[in-house]
Amino acid sequence: MPLDPRNVGRKYGPYRYAVGQEKISDFAVAVGGGVPGRVFGGWLPEDLHPWFVDEASGKASPHGSTIAPPTFCVNFAMQPFALACSDPELGIDLVRLLHGEQQFEYFDVIRPGDVLETMGEIVRIESKGSLDFMTVKTTTRSQTGKVVLEGLWTAIVRG
Amino acid sequence: MKTLRDFRVGDTFVLERACDRYRPVYYAAASGDFNPIHIDPEVGRRAGQSGAILQGMCTMAWLADACVRYFEDPGRIRKLKVRFSKPVNVGDVVTFQGRCVAVEGPVVRVEVTARNQAGDEVLKGAVAEGLVV
């Protein structure tokens, strides 16, 4: 059954997330080819950007601290999208779901110690042939109220 | 660190990343994306794949890594956009090839291709923008 476009406008959140250095390091390590965590893992892949993991380098950088890699934001900004995909009101079969498209716009870097709040809203539901497209827009604000990140998350559901 | 005048249309950059057997699990731990299609080969097969597939967001993280190397300061990256055109499977090696296509004021725009070892594109329309001030 095609996705019901009347669900456009459904909102999810806000969801709160406190950013920590250990999680940033684990993310950078996993993406860089290493093993996250401190048990059977934790070694740093060579050529990892030092501003993600090394406090002294981060402090000496233009940002004044370590920062999160650009797509670290999955840890918090994906939550409204994941909840929309598994929302019983929409009834999506997760086995038929694919992540189709992704877009981020960044307005500031994210640092350890930031406390973020992310809201999501379904902004598009469209059927093309046997495929349904659903796009969730997320907006993440920092503890100062400033928008630091916007995401457009598009799911494709195969009929 | 490179300054604005060091960025020129036609610049290229390359990054190679391998999806080893446990990469989807490691990425799940780091990202929180434990969708069973990425963890359980049986669920992957039920979804019509050959086994567990890598999170698209990990492929995008690799793309971002390639761009970070080019821009040098990760905080310069202001926009990232991709379409996921083919799943990345365990055993795949993905090559990212980037090219600077525009420098407009402080905004540096790059286009990136991402192909697996068979030459198939796993991302389409991948673009990034950096703000270099």
Among A93, A76, A69, CA closest to A155: A93
Interface residues on A facing B, Cβ-Cβ cutoff 8 A: 23, 26-27, 29-37, 49, 51-52, 61-63, 67, 69-71, 74-75, 78, 82, 94-96, 98-107, 109
Label residue A38 by pLDDT band (50, 70, 90).
confident
Q: Which residues of A touch B77 (CB under 8 A)?
A: 70, 106
Tokens of B99: 């090219």
Residue in the structure block whose two tokens are 């093993």: A35
Are A116 and A150 in a shared domain? yes
Label residue A124 by pLDDT band (50, 70, 90).
very high
Comparing A35-39, B24-28, B81-85, B90-94, which segment has the lowest mean pLDDT?
A35-39
What is the per-residue pLDDT for A95?
Answer: 84
How distant is the Cα of A100 from the closest Cα of chain B, in angstroms?
5
Q: Does residue B13 carry a pLDDT above 80?
A: yes
Superfamily of domain B4-19+55-131: Hotdog Thioesterase (3.10.129.10)
3-state secondary structure of A47: coil
Task: Write down the pTM of the prediction.
Answer: 0.97
**A-B Cβ pairs (cutoff 8 Å, strict):** 112
* Integer Cα distance of A55 and A6 in angstroms: 48
Are A81 and A106 in a shared domain? yes
**A63, A108 in Cβ contact below 8 A?**
no
Q: Does residue B64 carry a pLDDT above 80?
A: yes
Average pLDDT of chain B to the nearest whole number: 97
* Interface ipTM above 0.90: yes
Total structural domains within chain A:
2
**B64, B117 in Cβ contact below 8 A?**
no
Tens digit of each residue's pLDDT (9 = 90 or more) over B16-41: 999 999 999 999 999 999 999 999 99
**A17, A138 in Cβ contact below 8 A?**
no
Residue type, B57: M
3-state secondary structure of A46: coil
Mean predicted confidence (pLDDT) in B40-51: 92
Q: Where are the domains of chain B?
A: 4-19+55-131
Interface residues on B facing A, Cβ-Cβ cutoff 8 A: 17-18, 20, 22-23, 26-27, 29-33, 35-37, 43, 46-47, 55-58, 60-62, 64-65, 67-68, 73-75, 77-84
Q: Does residue A1 carry a pLDDT above 80?
A: no
Tokens of B130: 């950096």
Label residue A22 by pLDDT band (50, 70, 90).
very high
Q: Does residue A42 carry a pLDDT above 80?
A: no
Residue type, A152: L
Q: Does residue A43 carry a pLDDT above 90?
A: no
Q: Which domain holds residue A57?
A: 21-66
**A34, A41 in Cβ contact below 8 A?**
yes
Are A48 and A83 in a shared domain? no
**A152, A137 in Cβ contact below 8 A?**
yes
Rounded to the nearest 5°, which phi and psi values hold at B79?
A: -145, 140
Are A83 and A49 in a shared domain? no
Output the domain CATH number for residue A3: 3.10.129.10
Q: Does residue A66 carry a pLDDT above 80?
A: yes
Are A53 and A131 in a shared domain? no
Which chain B residue has its CA at the smallest distance from A42's CA? B26
Q: Which residues of B touch A62 (CB under 8 A)?
A: 73, 75
Contacts of range B38-41, beta carbons closer than 8 Å, 24 or more positions apart: none
Chain-centroid distance of CA A92 in Å reads 20
Are A123 and A81 in a shared domain? yes
The answer to whether the Cβ–Cβ distance between B75 and A63 falls below 8 Å is yes
Mean predicted confidence (pLDDT) in B61-85: 98
Q: Which residues pair with B99 in a beta bridge?
A: B12, B111
3-state secondary structure of A111: coil
What is the per-residue pLDDT for A2?
Answer: 85
Mean predicted confidence (pLDDT) in A4-28: 97
Chain-centroid distance of CA B48 in Å reads 23
Are A34 and A85 in a shared domain? no
Comparing A3-12, A34-43, A80-89, B31-40, which segment has the lowest mean pLDDT?
A34-43
